[in-house]
Amino acid sequence: MNIAQALQQARCLAISSLEAQTLLLHALGRDLLDRAWLLLHDSDDLPLTTCELYKDLMQRRLAHEPLAYLTGQQEFHGLSLQVDKRVLVPRPDTETLVDWALQLELPPQAHVLDLGTGSGAIALALKNAHPHWQVQAVDASEHALAVATGNAQKLQLEVSFLPSHWFSQAQGLFDLVVSNPPYIAQGDPHLPALRAEPLQALVSGKDGLDDIRHITAQAPAHLLPGAWLLLEHGFDQATAVRHLLASQGFVQVQSRNDLAGIQRCSGGQWPEVK
């Protein structure tokens, strides 16, 4: 089987051309962005071991395993992250949270906390954009922290990673707290499609807001005057999250839309001392 035939086989299985090229490049051990090479070498025969690996990858993709788990890589805010089944796959929607954080007027050496860091995507993107920020990131999963630490080392970004259930072990007061917590409701019909990803990083009570309630209630004790709390949430949760923030005393409470025009993040500022 040559490269052109391999890609055609994927199309016959209803795997998109882009995903097929990505899987084949991974099976070949080449850069995942080197799609031009495939076009230039479409008549090249594939080694048997590559064919077998490629077929296995296609079957796993057809079983709805995320592409990032198959290749071990995911792009996020200009960074190439290593990911596997220990963490959620960083999604483009979450870049909305990062972009909002980068637009805030914070001190040059701001103290930042990322709650439930997973792969480290948010913390590392913020540190990459602002090298002088003091970024701390926590997660209750030691497995997730191992992935995040590995990404920080690979990218040579200095972030402090700590095991912690939300704020329980966080150290100090912060100018900014960000989080992409679990926000899917128990029994949500979308969960079966996400079965390859860690359930504890997805589900949060009957309405999906248990963890956000906890974070908004505990945050004031960890924020400096004028600090911001920014949260990612579900497509239909913006009104509820804004209410939770306002009820805790946050001001300038607002939401931001993702690229699809959905209110994906909500946040507020802790009042300045009068």
Q: How would residue 39 be classed by pLDDT, with cut points 50, 70 and 90?
A: confident
Q: How would residue 274 be classed by pLDDT, with cut points 50, 70 and 90?
A: low
* Domains annotated on the chain, with CATH: 3-63 (no CATH), 77-269 (3.40.50.150)
**What 3 state SS string does the chain have?**
CEHHHHHHHHHHCCCCHHHHHHHHHHHHCCCCCCHHHHHHCCCCECCHHHHHHHHHHHHHHHCCCCHHHHHCEEEECCEEEECCCCCCCCCHHHHHHHHHHHHCCCCCCCEEEEECCCCCHHHHHHHHHCCCCEEEEEECCHHHHHHHHHHHHHHCCCCEEEECCCCCCCCCCEEEEEECCCCECCCCCCHHHHCCCCHHHCECCCCCCHHHHHHHHHHHHHEEEEEEEEEECCCCCHHHHHHHHHHCCCEEEEEEECCCCCEEEEEEECCCCC
Minimum mean pLDDT range among 142-151, 197-206, 246-255: 197-206
> Where do we find the tokens 């993702």?
258
pLDDT reported for residue 202? 82
Work out the percent of the chain whose per-residue pLDDT is above 90.
83
Mean pLDDT for the stretch of residues 144-165: 97
Asked if the model's pLDDT at residue 231 lies above 70, the reply is: yes
